[in-house]
Amino acid sequence: MAPMTDDIRVAAQPDMTLVGVVDLATDWHTRTAALHGIPIFAATAEAAAPMRDAGIPVEGTLDDLLGQVDAVVDATPKKIGAANLDRYRTAGVKAVLQGGETHETAGHSFVAQANYATALGRDATRVVSCRATPPPPCGCSARWPTPACSAPPAGC
Q: Which residues are identified as catalytic?
A: 130
User: How long a stretch of residues is the chain?
Assistant: 156
56 CB-contact burial (10 Å; exposed 0-12 / middle 13-18 / buried 19+): buried
Q: How far apart are CA 99 and CA 84, in angstroms?
A: 15
